[in-house]
Structure 1
Amino acid sequence: MTASVEDRAHDLRTRLESVQQRIADATEKAGRKQAPQLIVVSKFFPASDVQILHELGMTDFGENKDQEAAAKSAELSDLNVRWHFIGQLQSNKAKSVVRYASMVHSVDRASIVNALGKAMAREIAAAEEAGEPARPDLEVLIQVDFGEEFSPDHDATPASSGAQRGGVVPQEIAALAAAISETQHLTLRGLMTVAPLGAEPGKVFDRLREELDGLNRLYPDATIMSAGMSHDLEAAIESGATHLRIGSDVLGPRPAVR
């Protein structure tokens, strides 16, 4: 490795070990036997960083822009990694996303369910026609928006979806879950949230756990709780998160977007 690559590898190793120690400490403090899955959010960072982190044992990476994710996954197609799509998804990007993503964390409306189902059907039909093994069904999570519930004046605000970060309000989970369960080649695996700005993360994540417990009683495969980022991973672990989405604390400050 060149000096610059060696320096970057050292930096990533140091950062990763620090995050892994935080996760281990929080897991022990919460009295949990198994630590959650760490998803390294590699958006805005080069494929070379993913390569280094893979060599350090990381297997799961998150991206939130299809154009960047598609290019990165193609460049690293020889690596045995799982790509998680975590950003807001447009229906016209579904065809591309299903080609590389193992899991989509941000399903928040019926049109996305329909687009992903159709895209998966096309992929599976193409594989059959080519005599290739069919890919597994796409795992999906429903993104939940607790912004109104945890806003200071939420009692005066009617429930509705479409908040800035995306996601459905809790009252809409059941209908979207039913739509997913009725769509071939999609498997409902659980729920995801981002703690609203200004809200106490632990309380938000406890609410997500409540919603997941209810969902799991109807859909046994729905066991994943995707919650927690660099600044609130400890609260997420305390509340029972199974998957953490960590970016800056592993990769450092984001590169300037040009």
Structure 2
Amino acid sequence: MSTTAGVTPGAASAPGGGPGAKDSDLLVLNNVEVIYDDVILVLRGLSLGVPEGRIVALLGSNGAGKSTTLKAVSGLLPSERGEVTDGSISFAGEDITRMEPSDRVTRGMSLCMEGRHVFEHLSVAENLVAGAYTRSGKESSSDLEMVYEFFPKLADMRARVAGYLSGGEQQMLAIGRALMARPKLLMLDEPSLGLAPLLVQEIFGYIKRLNDETGLTVLVIEQNARRALEVADHGYIMEQGRIVLEGPAAELRENPDVKEFYLGLGDEGSRKSYRDVKHYKRRKRWL
């Protein structure tokens, strides 16, 4: 398989001097294996690193294991009868593999789950305040103003019931609520899901602005590879529970295989048949 310079098939970050390990990585997954119901293997030795102050995109098709990765990082696997059975996860140099989800939040991790999951019966302001439950009232009031500054639409709708907001407005609210915990790492699971193209562009614009202006570290999981790679610094591509390709986002955007299979930009004259696509994916999984 051809790759562009700097784009590495199958490479990943790992702690303790492992391949690609960096001192600047805020989050490190090292050979993580996840099994559901004691029999269903979903993550198969997954390794990746998220450098502090950067945006990292984790891309892949449905069933690749992207959401499972976020659940492993945030400690939510036991609620779905899943567990990390091998490997380790570290955050800010601390092993969090078996840590309770609430303890991970207090250490600076926030997750926006797929589908937004706002408290529909509460107002916008009440949703935001709920995101600051681990912090004092004085601190949360200043952060509330910060969220309103980043999302002026939420300021205008602070008294509205969240269940009546549009999908894009609910996504802004979900991100704003996560920011109320003042995270070091913000994790976003499919933030573009179900949104119109213009709203997707707006949401990713907010993500980029947050990173640029506050230095917030972001791990975003997306099927919309084009949008994610436009704002990310680094990207990983997953298939069948493994990382099969990684590299700087700008170089992944120019990689011919990424263009064809994830961005839909392959040259018309070089498009592969369905049989070739199946063969290509089968080869790529073994890189």
TM-score relative to the length of structure 1: 0.37
Higher strand share: 2
Q: RCO greater where, 1 or 2, for CA within 8 Å and sep 6 or more?
A: 2
Greater percentage in helix: 1
TM normalised by structure 2 equals 0.35
